[in-house]
Chain A
Amino acid sequence: MELICPAGTPASFREAVDAGADVVYCGFRDETNARNFPGLNFTRKELEQSIAYAQSKGTQTYVALNTFMRAGDEIVWYEAVDDAVRLGADAVIVADFGLMAYVAEYHPRQRLHVSVQASASNVDAINFLVDAFGAKRVVLPRILTIPDIARIARQITCEIEVFVFGGLCVMAEGRCSLSSYATGKSPNMNGVCSPASHVRYRQDGNDLVSELGDYTINRFPDGEAAGYPTLCKGRFEVAGQYGYAFEDPVSLDVMDHIDGLREAGVCALKIEGRQRGKAYVAEVVSTLRRTLSADSRSRPALIHRLKLLSEGQQTTSGAYEKRWR
């Protein structure tokens, strides 16, 4: 199975390649990708140089163009596709059906992958995207169990890629409006979830208080591991009790299940984290590379250290082994 690794800067990109990535995915420094954070991402020149570096080491590059086009400004996304193709991207990862149509019409030989943001989570949706736009791979939303994935794999004609490690959304990819509700900006349209411009941290006595826009997201007592300032991981009062109404601050880790994923028909394992630093990329990629070639008994010890890198210093297998249906 391919190991698909994130990069938010050229330095992270080189770390991912050197650490053993089969593929590095990244995006342009604008709103065309869903990790449009300040100071992050690639200029055209940086992408060109990074692709050349990857090719010299036998690594592929996928370019994420996975936000939804803004009506009237489609040209921004069209030009991003044109440039990614011109610079030699091995695949473009797209969420917007209109942009998929553009790729299919103007760059029919370009390999097209369906982004997790497209929320294609059933056989009909995936086969439609394969038939209509020639999609070669789908990145499945993190809402499916491994048996679900196996059932889908048997009925579709494209490859399957899944997230196995890193940040975990509340499983409504491409459709989540929580950030938009609080700040007016969303990963879907602007490439930012909980934009930094709306985030504030302050100390209140010994507590660390995180705020997003006008909302208090969380209050961490001294010594408690902290999480990202997203509404989905916020601690709220519900029916007189404080708790995590949507989800705990926790990251995804399903490396214990890679044999099951392989048997289910998954061909590529994806690491989330383009917004993370190169130290994270180097550590996670090298560890998961070793884990992939290790036997199942050795894997837990290998990946245990990665908990320290995870949100809230906790990990979960999320919906892959859903127990709450």
Chain B
Amino acid sequence: MKLPPLLAAPFAVIPLPVINRATRLMLFRVLKQHPGLFDRLGEHLGKRYGFVPTDLPLTFVVEPARPMITVSRKPGTPHADAIVEGPFFLLLALLEGRGDADALFFSRDLAVTGDMESIMSLRNALDDCSVDLPRDLSVAAGPLRPLFKRAAGWIRDRALSGESVWN
């Protein structure tokens, strides 16, 4: 499903440093749970990967070599070697290996431009890691971990119900 405009709108006004801080913490948390996440990138480790959620006023650039994630506001195009564009929840589904990128490309839910070798490497690297955002990020919730995990899992299930994703 697309992110409802009511949920997407606040991201247009929340200060970028706050969003950057939050997304970096999430990236580092996921990397802590999956230290081998970028192993399959090989020669493409140093590339910049852009993500453009079609239903958010933000763009993201991931640099695995540093590692770092940088958030910017639209309408700017991310300065990246390869760019993936699609609905926010589908991009998260791909991060978790819950969607088949080829099928989403065939259906035109996903658009990919730029360096195809590097984006294929990233796709395969992500696919081989069992990232589970509710589980991986809930570690930081301390005593609220079970609650956070359940709530995040529920949101994910709702968001992906009816989409061309599996697992």
Do A and B pair up? The answer is yes
B60 to chain A minimum Cβ distance, whole angstroms, is: 20
Which positions 138-177 of chain A face chain B at CB distance < 8 Å? Answer: none
Does any Cβ of A come within 8 Å of B52's Cβ? no
Could you show 12 A-B contacts with beta carbons less than 8 Å apart?
A12-B127, A37-B120, A38-B117, A39-B41, A40-B120, A200-B113, A225-B106, A249-B106, A280-B103, A308-B107, A309-B100, A309-B102
Known: A208-B108, A282-B167. A203 touches B113 (CB 8 A): yes
Pairwise interchain contact A277-B121, C-beta atoms closer than 8 A: no
- Residues of the B chain whose Cβ atoms lie less than 8 Å from the Cβ of A226: 105-108
A10 CA / B124 CA spacing, docked (Å) = 11
Does any Cβ of A come within 8 Å of B149's Cβ? no
Which residue on chain A has the smallest CB distance to residue B85? A203
Pairwise interchain contact A277-B97, C-beta atoms closer than 8 A: yes
* Residue interface bits B100-135, CB-to-A below 8 A is 1, else 0: 111101111001110011111111110111100000
Pairwise interchain contact B111-A39, C-beta atoms closer than 8 A: no
Contact partner of B97 (CB less than 8 A), chosen from A11, A37, A222, A283, is: A11
A310 CA / B101 CA spacing, docked (Å) = 12
Interface of A toward B, CB cutoff 8 Å:
8-12, 37-40, 195-197, 199-203, 208, 220, 222-227, 249, 275-280, 282-283, 308-313
- Residues of the B chain whose Cβ atoms lie less than 8 Å from the Cβ of A313: 106-107
Contact partner of B127 (CB less than 8 A), chosen from A224, A249, A277, is: A277
Pairwise interchain contact A202-B113, C-beta atoms closer than 8 A: yes
Does any Cβ of A come within 8 Å of B48's Cβ? no
Known: A199-B116, A279-B98, A279-B100. A38 touches B128 (CB 8 A): no
A279 CA / B165 CA spacing, docked (Å) = 7
B33 to chain A minimum Cβ distance, whole angstroms, is: 15
Which residue on chain A has the smallest CB distance to residue B118? A38
Does any Cβ of A come within 8 Å of B166's Cβ? yes
Contact partner of B44 (CB less than 8 A), chosen from A38, A40, A222, A275, is: A38
Pairwise interchain contact B120-A277, C-beta atoms closer than 8 A: no
Which positions 28-55 of chain B face chain A at CB distance < 8 Å? Answer: 40-42, 44
- Residues of the A chain whose Cβ atoms lie less than 8 Å from the Cβ of B97: 11, 277-279
B contact residues, range: 35 or more
Known: A38-B117, A40-B124. A311 touches B106 (CB 8 A): yes
- Residues of the B chain whose Cβ atoms lie less than 8 Å from the Cβ of A203: 111, 113
- Residues of the A chain whose Cβ atoms lie less than 8 Å from the Cβ of B101: 277
A220 CA / B129 CA spacing, docked (Å) = 32
- Residues of the B chain whose Cβ atoms lie less than 8 Å from the Cβ of A37: 120, 124
Which residue on chain B has the smallest CB distance to residue A280? B100
* Residue interface bits B134-167, CB-to-A below 8 A is 1, else 0: 0000000000000000000000000000001111
Pairwise interchain contact A11-B130, C-beta atoms closer than 8 A: yes
Pairwise interchain contact A225-B108, C-beta atoms closer than 8 A: yes
- Residues of the B chain whose Cβ atoms lie less than 8 Å from the Cβ of A282: 166-167
Pairwise interchain contact B111-A225, C-beta atoms closer than 8 A: no
Query: Lowest 4 CB-CB distances: which A-B pairs, in order?
Result: A39-B124, A39-B121, A9-B128, A196-B116
A233 CA / B100 CA spacing, docked (Å) = 21
A7 CA / B106 CA spacing, docked (Å) = 21
A174 to chain B minimum Cβ distance, whole angstroms, is: 23
- Residues of the A chain whose Cβ atoms lie less than 8 Å from the Cβ of B100: 276-277, 279-280, 283, 309
Does any Cβ of A come within 8 Å of B78's Cβ? no
- Residues of the B chain whose Cβ atoms lie less than 8 Å from the Cβ of A38: 42, 44, 117-118, 120-121, 124
Pairwise interchain contact B102-A220, C-beta atoms closer than 8 A: no
Contact partner of A39 (CB less than 8 A), chosen from B40, B112, B167, is: B40
B91 to chain A minimum Cβ distance, whole angstroms, is: 14
Does any Cβ of A come within 8 Å of B99's Cβ? yes
- Residues of the A chain whose Cβ atoms lie less than 8 Å from the Cβ of B106: 225-227, 249, 310-313
Which residue on chain B has the smallest CB distance to residue A310? B106
B93 to chain A minimum Cβ distance, whole angstroms, is: 8
Pairwise interchain contact A201-B113, C-beta atoms closer than 8 A: yes
B161 to chain A minimum Cβ distance, whole angstroms, is: 15
B121 to chain A minimum Cβ distance, whole angstroms, is: 4
- Residues of the B chain whose Cβ atoms lie less than 8 Å from the Cβ of A9: 40, 124, 127-128
